[in-house]
Structure 1
Amino acid sequence: GLLVDRRRVGPLAAVGVVLAGLGVGLAGLVPGYALTWSLVLLSGIGVAMFHPAAGRAARIDAGDSTAAMSVFAAGGSVGFFLAPVLATPALATLGLAATALFIPPAVLVGFMLLRAHRRQEAAAKVAAAATAGGQDLWSPFLLLTAVEIVRSVLFFGVITFIELYWLRHLHAGHTAAGAALACFLIGGVAGTLAGGRIADRAGTVRTVQAGTALAIPALVALRVAPGPGTALLAAMAAGVAISIPFSVLVKLGQDYLPTRPGTAAGVTLGLAVSMGGLAAPGLGAIADTWGIAAVFSVLCLVPLPGLLLAAFLPEIRPIPVPGDDASRAGEPG
């Protein structure tokens, strides 16, 4: 993110996608744990390279529209849903060598991003000039990052343990457990898209607060659902509620750091989300000690600190930049 903001290295997004595909694509072909580990690490670095540059480019195209940013953010949610759908049958049929199938689409998308970057260079210069006088609000941004970490803990906590919850607590079959994960992820895509539209009408901070608050009854409904059928509806509702703030937080983070959109996107899309994933082992320890149902009891309480933190987020009032409707600066409201 710092590199994107200081050096304007837009092609970083294209290079990142290619590295991500090469890393995971070659991981199934090499012998030994060390090589596999190194290639998975390379893939992770590629993903980390993508987020700041792509997030900055998406903001240039989206202007001040949270709905437009939600389309960009929803791409990641769709990826979470499609990855097991596409990868599982390929790996089951062809073995680990099927990871090589990830390489061609990664190279193709990298080429497309490179071409898009060349067309965006002029718009990027205008956007940089428009935000040059903006003031970075680091305290609200750090507060927002904490809210995103809470949201990420919820998201990764559910996708990591929801299938086990169906199998061990609700005593459902593997097909029903897979359907539960699918319902949650579909709800996540819907929530991401809905959050952007709601924010454009009701305000970004209010949308973050509303989504975080709605996650509590949705998770409670999932925890107390008497059977798999009722729990499926609760899982989808939880996916919607948890994801409503996602794209809004990305856009709001860039509003707080108008001169560092790449850094803001790198933190909200990458660092904070990764921190949520790091909480999964702790939740796993809870499952091992007190059972899988205890994990979802804990998840019902996780939104509370996020809701408290979100109450102190300042709203941003966009300031139109003369001669450029798509580029905006901001100040605290």
Structure 2
Amino acid sequence: MPTTTFHSLRTSTRPPRNRAITLLAVGHACVDVYQGAVAALVPFFVAERAYTYATASGIVLAASLLSSVAQPLFGALTDRKPLPWLLPVSTLVGGLGIALSGLGGSYALTLLFVAVSGIGVAAYHPESARIARVASRGGHTAMSWFSLGGNLGFAFSPALVALVVGFGGLTMSPLLLLPALAGSVLCLPVLRIVQRGQEATSAAAHPTQTLTSAADDRRSFLRLTLGVICRSVAFTGLSTFISFHMAQSTGWGPTAGTAALVVLYLGGAVGTVLGGRLAERRDRVTVVRRSYLLTVLAVAGVVLVPGPLGYLFVALASAGLYVPFSLQVTLAQDYLPHRVGTAGGITLGLTVSVGGIAAPAIGLLADATSLRTALIPLIAMPALSWLAFRGLPEPAAAIGPPSEEADSP
């Protein structure tokens, strides 16, 4: 990756950098609405089309499989050449797929539309992570605000789906395109800010800060990726089936399931901000490792503790799984300082995508036994993530220390 300077961004574009982080966070929310919408739509597909657990989880797989493969490819592409225009275009594609998914009369069409949405989401994340990294100057808290936007999109999606589809049925799904329209418009000022920053950087006569010349640490990146995969299986398994599980556990019906999804996603929002704050006090690897260890107990509580108390464990498990979220992105980028787009594509993509591959297996086991039995293997996932992070080094930041105004939007 070519050496890039940031002196002019520091001295002449401080307000735009704050504005860029804010707009990126909101745009991230508008995109990740569609990742959360897939799981939120599953109960409606089951109710209106009589899908089994396994069939319904195949929809999650369709959104996840192409996305998990495509995100590293888009990341490698943006490493070769920045493509900021991908932000508004991919936002629209992600929304369009979900908007059409409720209109597909056949299972094949539903899978196709959900897959299209997954490709749009895949195109968005690597480039947005690259831009957020530059705007935040590698600051952990600023990156956590960017990640928080995505988490809030996840959190809002069950309520949005319930509002639109719950009252009007799947035929109302085209209304779900509205966040994508808003997000694509919000991306446009970011593109102008990025362009001005690049022009100012090119004009800098005496740069004072550069990207690190350290070599890529592929071994550490591979171990981190394995930890991200296990985390992904745990979170995607919970997000796909928690609504069914809590409805059964509490006996309160579909409303209890929707509430569980909201708690799951809001807990993730809290965990993301907490992770950024903790990383300012302790090294990232330690924060991630301890978070995963505590999450083992929280996931066990979700699966094994019956009744309303399960909501507390849902919140704790979600927060524990999301404390590492933004930290894993910056760690990956620092392990691969010359392939920042690839690092962001793999970590952000795998975090929300590869777990979908395990969802059909969980659904099949639930059909054959019980849903609670099928969720028990999820308890082991954060433990495996903890093992993957044991002994990982804390890399030097690839970008110089952030200024204070980059720490929050």
1:297 and 1:325 mapped to 2: Cα distance?
A: 42
1:78 and 1:158 mapped to 2: Cα distance?
A: 17
1:264 corresponding residue in structure 2: 343
Q: Percent identity?
A: 36
1:86 corresponding residue in structure 2: 160
The answer to whether structure 1 residue 160 and structure 2 residue 240 are counterparts is yes
- Show CA shifts across 1:132-155 (max 9, x none): 734222111111111111111111
8 Å CA contact 1:141–1:256 kept in 2: the answer is: yes
2:399 and 2:320 mapped to 1: Cα distance?
A: 31
8 Å CA contact 2:289–2:389 kept in 1: the answer is: yes
1:5 corresponding residue in structure 2: 79
1:219 and 1:35 mapped to 2: Cα distance?
A: 34
AA of the residue aligned to 1:92: G
2:100 and 2:196 mapped to 1: Cα distance?
A: 36
CA distance 1:201–1:241, change in 2 (3 Å)? same
CA distance 1:152–1:320, change in 2 (3 Å)? closer
Post-superposition shift, 1:34? 5.0
AA of the residue aligned to 1:142: L
1:230 and 1:28 mapped to 2: Cα distance?
A: 34
1:95 and 1:223 mapped to 2: Cα distance?
A: 30
Question: Relative to structure 2, which stretch is displaced further, 148-157 or 267-276?
Answer: 267-276
1:30 and 1:157 mapped to 2: Cα distance?
A: 25
1:331 corresponding residue in structure 2: none
AA of the residue aligned to 2:219: S
* Secondary structure at the counterpart of residue 210 of structure 2: helix
TM-score, normalised to structure 2's length? 0.72
1:36 and 1:290 mapped to 2: Cα distance?
A: 27
* Secondary structure at the counterpart of residue 229 of structure 1: coil
AA of the residue aligned to 1:201: R
2:248 and 2:383 mapped to 1: Cα distance?
A: 27
2:188 corresponding residue in structure 1: 114
8 Å CA contact 1:159–1:181 kept in 2: the answer is: yes
CA distance 1:122–1:255, change in 2 (3 Å)? farther
The 5 A counterparts of 1:1-333 are: 1-29=75-103, 35-123=109-197, 126=201, 130-131=210-211, 133-225=213-305, 227-318=306-397, 321=400, 325=402
Question: Relative to structure 2, which stretch is displaced further, 90-99 or 56-65?
Answer: 90-99
8 Å CA contact 1:11–1:53 kept in 2: the answer is: no
How many residues were matched structurally? 323
AA of the residue aligned to 1:231: G
* Secondary structure at the counterpart of residue 183 of structure 1: helix
2:359 and 2:345 mapped to 1: Cα distance?
A: 21
CA distance 1:52–1:85, change in 2 (3 Å)? same
CA distance 1:90–1:104, change in 2 (3 Å)? closer
Cα RMSD, aligned residues only: 2.5
- Show CA shifts across 1:287-326 (max 9, x none): 22332222332222222221111103210133665xx856
TM-score, normalised to structure 1's length? 0.88
8 Å CA contact 1:254–1:260 kept in 2: the answer is: yes
Q: Which runs of 5+ in 1 are unaligned?
A: 327-333
2:159 and 2:132 mapped to 1: Cα distance?
A: 27
